[in-house]
Structure 1
Amino acid sequence: MLRTNRFLLTLFVIFLLTFGAFYLHITNGSFDMSIWDVIKTLLRIDPNPKHDLVIFEFRLPRIVIAMLVGIGLGIAGTVMQGVTRNGLADPGILGINAGAGASIVLFLLLFQMKAKHITDGSWTSTMMMPLFGFVGGALAAALILIFSRKNGRMDMQRLILTGISINSGFGALSMYISLKMNPQDFEMAAVWMVGSIYNANWIFVLSMLPWIVILSVIIYRKSHLLDYFQLEEGTVTSLGISVEKEKIILILCSVGLISACVSVSGSIGFIGLMAPHIARSLVGLRHRLIMPVSAGVGMFLLIISDYISKTVFEPSELPVGIVVSIIGIPYFLYLLVKSKA
């Protein structure tokens, strides 16, 4: 009962923090508005065309994408750390973000640029981007699983080293592909690869929403297995659990989440590292509790980071991936020192 109350209180506090971040994000920027202006616009009370444009075309889709990406990366990070039993595992560090990103940059070069002037083509290609990213992310995950095994088991040191290598390799491939673009498209691709959601729109929201909803439900229904995976593999097998099969399902689902996120926001690292650790410190070690809290923490972190990215150097904008990295790199070093201790 005490654990449940703590879990609900934690979710409530995260909700309040997220609402505060939402308020700051939607009311502040190059065109400031009061909360009453926002409420009137959302409830269609005496609508103002300028307010409609700012809220519905620019700020609201950007906030919704930040929420969805934060949720997806938070859940994917929880899965990666649970499956690998490594608290330093993160979709960005392991190279899955880079694999999905390289695949999507190739997609942009081959298809998106040809269809961008055709409304239907643009819509179709945007909806296909997460699927194309899934191929690259799954390839990166497969390479990591193959090369990180030692004596038939996953070796944690090899996992991190392999992930860093995969990340560097796919990052170089993304840069090489982007150099084939014309200067304008290259500039957009370069900003996107760092991690940015400033060009958000409702088509991007629709393209990633089914992936986030469906895969999050599947992962949550299997979240109890992550508790068992913390035990020795022989013990888990004796319980009648098909360890390899369930791990592959969870990893593929997390790759799908990552691919959907990368397709609209580029490669944003460290959310999948920080959110699960913060969640564990708040609600304990049960993954059925960790997962929703990690999703909420990821959502809050990305909304507040995006707010900082658009206001700190106003009227210029800093890619949100840089802001997250400024927060995430010291946190990663802290975890590294803590794990050695």
Structure 2
Amino acid sequence: MMTAKRKQRILFVILLTLTLITIIIGIGLGPASLSYDRLIPTILGNGTFKEEFVLFSIRLPRIIITLLAGMALALSGLILQSLTRNDLADPGIIGINAGSGIAISIFFLYFPIQADTFIYALPIVAFLGALVTACLIYFFAYDKETGLQPARLTLTGVGFSFAIAGLMIVLISSADRAKVDFIAKWIAGNIWGDDWLFVLAILPWLAILIPYIIYKANRLNILALSESVAVGLGIALEKERRTLLLAAVALSASAVSVTGGIAFIGLMAPHIAKALVGPRHQLCIPITIMLGGLLLLVADTIGRNIVDPNGIPAGIMVSLIGAPYFMYLLFKE
């Protein structure tokens, strides 16, 4: 019988292979053509100026950003599901992404923006907005007698998400047309960060937080069981919850700051990973990360090529798949 660890390794290799295949397909698709037989020569520096420009300045940055953002959203969703013991938890569904969105909107509309610092400031601004929203959701969902209630947290988050969406409409109703267009694309989940600078803006967050969450995998296993078990094992319950919630917020904020408001990746990827390798976090964290990157990459590859000239935003493509999946989980729960 195949061990869980061996099964995880095989699945990881399969997902890595599928990701590489999707990257290769994505590189060759689009208005500016780059034939597949010219891919290797171009990577090795033997392509024409046009081929190198299309590959290194247009396609690869967007692909890498999409991949990293999908990984961050998936891992954020896994943390939230473990903390709340609720398979329906997702940074997009429970309002954390909306918190990032309102902060980015205010920053974009009302603060003087310097082009050289704008890209690096966005993840920080998104993080602060998401953090304030997460704290408010936590406050309203927490009960002194029974602790953090998963159902209440989900409903509170959905309520905050709708309230913030209404506030964003008020904010942009009198704004400049160009800025309104940007915010509208952000809300739709359009992958707008398509330059190497955006890769540098999001990469440090993942480089720090992914190893940290892997290190905390056993804590997540315990927190996913019950409060009484966690306390009995000597876990500082509220401290662990807060630090892990902070990590989930940071992962989500870093992703949506360059991809826009994308939901359901954090819902689907962890749930599929647990179905494949089980709920033990040492096994499902790597699979969740790979699934998240692959799902968003496939959604963006299909979306940007399915309709001319601008395609369909990745957030909408993910929602077309994620909304029915959410309903399935809702009825199952």
Q: Supply the distance in 2 between the matched residues of 1:21 and 1:286 (Cα, whole angstroms).
A: 28
Q: Which residue of 1 aligns with 2:77?
A: 77
1:124 partnered with 2:125: no
Does residue 67 (structure 1) correspond to residue 67 (structure 2)? The answer is yes
Distance in 1, matches of 2:170 and 2:38, equals 46
Aligned to 1:315: 309
The one-letter code matched in structure 2 to 1:337 is F
The one-letter code matched in structure 2 to 1:12 is: V
What does residue 205 of structure 1 align with? Answer: 199
1:25-174 equivalences under 5 Å are 25-45=26-46, 47-111=47-111, 114-115=112-113, 121-150=114-143, 151-174=145-168
Measured on the aligned residues, the alpha-carbon RMSD in Å equals: 1.3
Match of residue 249 from structure 1: 243
Unaligned runs of 5+ in 2: none
Report SS of the residue matched to 1:175: helix
SS of the residue 2:92 aligns to: coil
The separation in 1 between residues aligned to 2:146 and 2:127, in whole angstroms, is 26
Residue 223 of structure 1: how far off its partner (Å): 1.6
Q: CA deviation at 1:291?
A: 1.0
Give 1:285's aligned amino acid: P
Shift of 1:316: 3.0
Moved more, 285-294 or 166-175: 166-175
Of 310-319 and 255-264, the range deviating more from structure 2: 310-319
1:199 Cα offset (Å): 4.7
Deviation at 1:35, TM superposition (A): 2.1
Give the partner amino acid of 2:142. R
User: Unaligned regions of 5+ residues in structure 1, if any?
Assistant: 116-120
Contact 2:108-2:179 within 8 A present in 1 as well: no
**Aligned partners of 1:295, 1:239: CA distance in 2, in Å?**
28
Q: Does 1:186 align with 2:188?
A: no
Residue matched to 1:233:
227
- My pick for the range that moved more, 212-221 or 151-160, is 151-160
Q: TM-score, normalised by structure 1?
A: 0.94
Q: Are 1:123 and 1:203, in contact at CA under 8 Å, matched by a contact in 2? A: no
| % identical equivalent positions | 38
Residue 277 of structure 1 deviates from its aligned partner by 0.5
> SS in structure 2 opposite 1:268?
coil
- Could you report, residue by residue, the CA deviation over 1:149-201 in whole angstroms, capped at 9, with x for unpaired residues? 23241122211110111111122222222334211221121011111114511
Distance in 2 separating the partners of 1:235 and 1:68: 34
Q: Number of residue pairs matched?
A: 331
**Corresponding residue for residue 118 of structure 1:** none
Moved more, 36-45 or 18-27: 36-45
Given the alignment of the two structures, is residue 271 of structure 1 paired with residue 265 of structure 2, yes or no? yes
Q: Which residue of 1 aligns with 2:277?
A: 283
**Following TM superposition, by how much is the alpha carbon of 1:50 offset from its aligned partner in structure 2, in angstroms?**
0.9
Does the C-alpha gap of structure 1 residues 146 and 14 become closer, same or farther in structure 2, counting only changes over 3 Å?
Answer: same
Deviates more, 1:4-13 or 1:22-31: 22-31
